[in-house]
Amino acid sequence: MEIVKSICPFCGVGCGVELYVDSSIVRLSPSKEHILSKGHLCGKGTLSFEPVYSWDRVTYPLKKIKGEHIRISWEEAINDIVNKIKEIIQYGKDSIAFYGGCQNTLEENYLMQKLARAIGTNNVDSCARVCHEPSAMALKEMVGIGASSISAEMIPKMKVVVITGESVTESHPVLSQYLTEAKIKGTKIVVIDPRINGTSKFADVHLRPKPGTDIALFNAVGNYLIENSLIDEKFIKERTVGFNEYAKGVSKYTLDYAEKITGILKEDIENFAKLISQKGVIFAWGLGLTQSSGVDGVRSYIDLALLTGNIGKYGGLLVFRGQTNVQGAGDIVKPNVFPNGAMNEENAQKLLKIWKFKPPTNPGLSVTNALLRDNKIRAIIFMGYNPLISMPNREKVERKLRSLDLLVVIDPFMTETAKIADYVLPAALWVEKEGSVANLDRLVKWRFKAIDPPGEAKPDYEILKELAEGFGYSFNSDPKEVFEEMKKVSPTYSNLSLDEIMDYSSNSRYPNHEVSLYEEKFNTEDGKARFIFREQHEVKNGMILITVRNVTRYNTDVVTGRIPGFGEYSTPIYISSDDATELKIRDSEEVSVISNCGKMNFKVKISNEVPKGVAMMYMHDPKVNYVVC
């Protein structure tokens, strides 16, 4: 029986796995040599190969004719799509867009954006846009690289670990091993989250702010640290800029004000501030911060690390990425940045030398602007992406998709988005192809192919090559060759070699193999970090809906819904007993949930996990984005 190494297709930890292959995959086990997962794997990961044998795989190209998808040949599918795009280009090259998911490999995402730019548009993006793009933006402008500055491996070596808007036990369960080890060694765990979750139950401190008030909390903590001389003045003076403006901005954020806005007792805010004033602190966060307070919330959070000097030698910033290659997708695919840097004439000329064509230099549309704003896009190709379910304001997204002249979906399954597509191209799953992925702490590893795809399904990189040939461009579809080309283009990945990323025990982190970045200088033009002050956003009155993850489910359930016993199912909306009493709602009663963008019915579950004024739902429920704006 052959043993093939690969990387789990789910969360941003990117656990190492071993596939046992005897013509088909017999079983899967964790890889003990993997530098981060260290022989651990969650239950979801253990069964991650099961969907490969799902009965409803898309195994040949499909074309919608009179409302039904009909089997066609690859030749017909490619020719049709290319010809239709050529017709649509008469409305302008920016009438075409390419958007990809974060399960796609680095090489596939690289080829996708390259093809779009060969056609003449910068309308390229990934699903990283709606999860951790706020993190990447804040990190890039404040410290220089839009990625975690420290590895999860360092958690047990810290005195304090702050986790904001994330439940490790549900979203990244394998990292619980580091929290457990840290607790044994005396590390203080702080969780900042409105709800009670699996991680908060064993935390030393649990702060429960009103959703959307994170900035007020962080600004008040910053003000308290400054007023009480609990800051690292030497670090601030020598290694940062913008402190005076920041200090002036936060000066009005008193503990009394923060208590009123956030609902957290000022004594608890004070104790939190004292905890993080020591050296050896990791500031970690997840989607609960980025999708609540956005880029400004992340900026205000990073300010605390700069105030206390807890970045570089003593601590760092850790982003809990939601998908295996969301970091890599965010690095390579952006509508306003080339993979080799700023979108300008100089970088376009550099790409011309490598690509043999010059990309346009006008910024393109992000996927959110493409689907939720008025624009001139008439054709979209989605690769491994199911936005009809995953994007907010579902009714508006569906109207946009149905209005297109051409909708193409490249996917292994007939997703909700694929069901309304004009063409569906069958893609290989993760065990049926190879390529690299970048995880949540900048670790890049290679997936090895274990089996062939079923029927006529093909790896995405082969599909992109055929599309490129239809437009007269010659693309290399060998993932190893594509990786080498990507290295020439992207400074981010230029230090890595195929040998080291194929070795699961190696420290193959970019940009220069550091476990902790910024010990000497930051990756900014002057080598200094930037304080950025932001005001607290307006918080509207009324019930606030938050969405969370379930450990047995993954995103839109496209994959986990095809694991036996993990099927897609509807979930209730959770509210507190106080709200239930006030609203006169009984447990299990069906209610109408109405927001600015839609209405949907859900059954109620009364729970003490959520505070008064907050409703909670699992993000995986296909109905939730009818009411999430």
Mean pLDDT of 591-595: 95
Mean pLDDT of 569-597: 94
Query: What are the pLDDT digits (tens) for 103-156?
Result: 999 999 999 999 999 999 999 999 999 888 999 999 999 999 999 999 999 999
Helices of type H across 166-213: 168-171, 176-184
d(CA 40, CA 214): 33
Query: What are the pLDDT digits (tens) for 366-377?
Result: 999 999 999 999
List, in order, residues 6 or more apart from 42 with CB less than 8 Å away. Answer: 10, 15, 173, 174, 551
pLDDT at 564: 83
d(CA 355, CA 358): 7
The overall pTM is greater than 0.95: yes
526: confidence class by pLDDT, cuts 50, 70, 90: very high
261: confidence class by pLDDT, cuts 50, 70, 90: very high
Mean pLDDT of 318-343: 96
Mean pLDDT for the chain overall: 96
d(CA 392, CA 625): 5
**3-state secondary structure (DSSP) of residue 63:** strand
Q: Are 520 and 238 in contact (CB under 8 A)?
A: no
Query: What are the pLDDT digits (tens) for 271-300?
Result: 999 999 999 999 999 999 999 999 999 999
Query: Identity (one letter) of the amino acid at 345?
Result: E
Q: Kindly list the distances between the CA atom of residue 280 and the CA atoms of 155, 290, 443, in Å, as whole numbers in the listed order.
A: 9, 24, 22
Query: Do the strands 337-338 and 341-342 form a parallel or antiparallel pair, or are they unpaired?
Result: antiparallel
d(CA 531, CA 242): 5
Residue 313 CB neighbour total at 10 angstroms: 14
pLDDT at 540: 81
Residue whose C-alpha is closest to residue 358's, from 601, 112, 122, 58: 122
Q: Kindly list the distances between the CA atom of residue 11 and the CA atoms of 40, 159, 322, 464, in Å, as whole numbers in the listed order.
A: 14, 26, 5, 25
Mean pLDDT of 305-320: 97
d(CA 272, CA 304): 11
Q: At what angle are helices 133-142 and 294-308 packed, to 10 degrees? A: 40
pLDDT at 565: 79
Query: What are the pLDDT digits (tens) for 416-432?
Result: 999 999 999 999 999 99
Residue whose C-alpha is closest to residue 410's, from 401, 400, 421: 421
87-101, 216-230, 535-549: range with lowest mean pLDDT: 535-549
Query: Do the strands 598-606 and 590-595 form a parallel or antiparallel pair, or are they unpaired?
Result: antiparallel
d(CA 585, CA 582): 8
Length of the chain counted residue by residue: 629
**3-state secondary structure (DSSP) of residue 254:** coil
Tell me: pLDDT of 477 over 80. yes
List, in order, residues 6 or more apart from 311 with CB less than 8 Å away. Answer: 143, 149, 305, 317, 518, 529
Query: Identity (one letter) of the amino acid at 179?
Result: L
**3-state secondary structure (DSSP) of residue 385:** coil
Torsion of CA 536, 542, 544, 545, to 10 degrees: -150
**3-state secondary structure (DSSP) of residue 454:** coil
482: confidence class by pLDDT, cuts 50, 70, 90: very high
d(CA 544, CA 528): 38
pLDDT at 361: 98
Query: Identity (one letter) of the amino acid at 301?
Result: Y
pLDDT at 568: 66
Q: Are 398 and 420 in contact (CB under 8 A)?
A: yes
